[in-house]
């Protein structure tokens, strides 16, 4: 027991010493006003290269921008967890603690409002704002804006497409040059005894699907963005919400979402398509690069319609770059963000990492067209123009988690689910229920 206590005490003293050393280093750190080279920290989400600067991912952009800075700064990349929810938690913990290392952050767009509302983001310099808005798709600018102000830098913009096998669509009698509906896909899959690749696990990707279905039927999950929790109004208990529930329920109860639809994330649904168990798949553009083997029969088109007489509302995703409010180098951090998101780097990143650019000009770049051939690059570009963001709210985490919980498992979704989810989320926001 005594030896154990000594070991624990020794460990604690070691940790304390390490923390003190770290704090000492932080205290001695320099800021924008000092001379010499600075080291910026960029918290990145996982991509094609992760922390490897030779693979064409964010780490590559970090190195190239540091090299181009003429010694003004270096960029140390720190890899965030894989899931968007876990990334949010890790960033929030550091921001709430006043961590001065939060120079640059790759932020999922749904969390920008929450970070901005909490005062965790440094103001965007007025001198750089025109550059950050220049040539960007509108959905990327909107995702970077909160309360009428640009609060983050548009980096890459994502949108889901409908991936399909041309032979299967032809056999089903579908004209893929025209918009198709979820009901048409359900009928085609049911007849051919195959599946549709969807994401319905209890995670953020399920919110992506639900939101796209509701928006595609002309509805909005959140009626009044920016309202206080007790004043928040939701639009789930509506005809659009019930139409979304009908589609999810039909796919789940007919067994068309694969053998484990309630566990399907992007990877599992992609595997269904790759293995030809599904001939239709809704997923992000990285799908094309991730597929192996002969792709001659694979094509992509706009997201399916929820109802026949309304245009679809493709999901919007991507990454915005935020600068921490407690960063000691906000000026240099924004200078680095300008380099990271310049025209050439946007095109390079899209071609090598498979993540679509927020700059329109990238979609005519030769390497981008090579990475996304046969009109796929243009389809992504067009989809971004009509993509629908998830609810912009400082309470997004509560709204999304409540939605996922009440719509799970997909096989239990009914016409009452939207009303049940709405009541639950409102109670959570009022502090009368727990997630």
Q: What is the pLDDT of residues 33-85, one digit of tens each?
A: 666 789 999 999 999 999 999 999 999 999 999 999 999 999 999 999 998 88
**Is-contact 236 221, C-beta < 8 A?**
yes
State percent of the chain over pLDDT 90.
90
Residue 5 pLDDT exceeds 50: no
**Domain extents for the chain?**
38-158+317-385, 159-316+390-430
CA distance 353 to 57: 6
In this predicted model, which residue has the larger pLDDT, 260 or 35? Answer: 260
CATH match of 38-158+317-385 with 1.10.260.40: no
| pLDDT band for position 24 (cuts 50, 70, 90) | very low
| pLDDT band for position 317 (cuts 50, 70, 90) | very high
Q: What pLDDT, in 10s, does the model give residues 220-251?
A: 999 999 899 999 999 999 999 999 999 999 99
The three-state secondary structure class of 51 is coil
Q: Which helix (H) or strand (E) holds 157?
A: strand 153-159
Residue 89 pLDDT exceeds 50: yes
**Residue 31 pLDDT:** 65
CA distance 135 to 141: 10
Over residues 368-393, mean pLDDT? 96
Q: Which residue, among 422, 76, 382, has the nearest Cα to 232 in the 3D structure?
A: 422
The pTM (predicted TM-score) of the whole model is: 0.89
Residue 432 pLDDT exceeds 60: yes
Residue 29 pLDDT exceeds 60: no
**Residue 36 pLDDT:** 78
Identify any residues that bridge with 280 across adjacent strands, giving them in sequence order: 164, 196
| pLDDT band for position 203 (cuts 50, 70, 90) | very high
Least confident of 8-12, 145-149, 351-355: 8-12
Q: Which residue, among 62, 45, 69, 101, has the nearest Cα to 320 in the 3D structure?
A: 45
Mean pLDDT of the chain: 92
**Residue 32 pLDDT:** 63
Q: Do domains 38-158+317-385 and 159-316+390-430 have the same CATH topology?
A: yes
CATH match of 159-316+390-430 with 3.40.605.10: no
| pLDDT band for position 15 (cuts 50, 70, 90) | very low
């Amino acid at each position: 027991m005594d030896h154990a206590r000594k070991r624990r005490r020794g460990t604690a003293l070691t940790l304390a010493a390490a923390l003190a050393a770290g704090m000492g280093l932080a205290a001695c750190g320099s800021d924008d006003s000092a001379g010499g080279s600075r080291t910026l920290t960029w918290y990145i989400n996982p991509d094609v290269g992760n922390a490897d600067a030779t693979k064409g991912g964010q780490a590559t952009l970090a190195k190239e921008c540091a090299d181009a800075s003429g010694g003004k700064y270096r960029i140390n990349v720190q890899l965030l967890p894989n899931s968007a929810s876990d990334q949010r938690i890790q960033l929030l913990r550091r921001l709430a603690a006043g961590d001065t290392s939060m120079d640059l952050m790759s932020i999922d767009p749904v969390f920008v409002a929450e970070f901005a509302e909490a005062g965790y983001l440094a103001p965007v310099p007025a001198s750089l704002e025109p550059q950050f808005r220049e040539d960007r798709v509108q959905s990327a600018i909107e995702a970077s804006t909160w309360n009428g102000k640009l609060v983050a830098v548009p980096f890459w913009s994502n949108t889901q497409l409908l991936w399909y096998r041309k032979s299967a669509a032809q056999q089903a009698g579908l004209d893929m040059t025209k918009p198709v509906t979820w009901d048409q896909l359900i009928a085609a899959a049911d007849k051919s005894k195959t599946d549709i690749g969807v994401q319905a696990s209890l995670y953020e990707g399920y919110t992506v699907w639900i939101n796209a279905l509701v928006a595609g039927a002309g509805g909005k999950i959140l009626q009044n963005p920016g309202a206080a929790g007790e004043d928040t109004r939701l639009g789930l208990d509506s005809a659009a919400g019930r139409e979304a529930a009908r589609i999810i329920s039909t796919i789940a109860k007919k067994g068309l979402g694969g053998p484990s639809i309630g566990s399907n994330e992007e990877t599992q649904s992609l595997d269904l398509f790759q293995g030809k168990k599904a001939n239709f798949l809704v997923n992000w553009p990285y799908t094309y690069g991730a597929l192996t083997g002969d792709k001659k029969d694979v094509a992509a088109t706009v997201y399916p319609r929820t109802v026949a007489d309304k245009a679809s509302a493709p999901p919007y995703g991507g990454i915005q770059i935020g600068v921490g409010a407690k960063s000691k180098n906000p000026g240099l951090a924004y200078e680095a963000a300008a380099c990271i998101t310049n025209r050439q780097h946007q095109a390079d990143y899209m071609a090598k990492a498979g993540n679509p650019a927020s700059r329109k000009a990238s979609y005519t770049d030769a390497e981008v067209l090579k990475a996304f051939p046969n009109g796929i690059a243009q389809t992504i570009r067009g989809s971004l123009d009509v993509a629908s963001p998830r609810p912009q709210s400082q309470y997004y985490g509560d709204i999304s988690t409540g939605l996922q919980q009440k719509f799970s498992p997909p096989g239990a979704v009914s016409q009452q689910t939207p009303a049940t989810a709405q009541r639950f989320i409102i109670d959570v926001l009022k502090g009368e229920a727990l997630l």
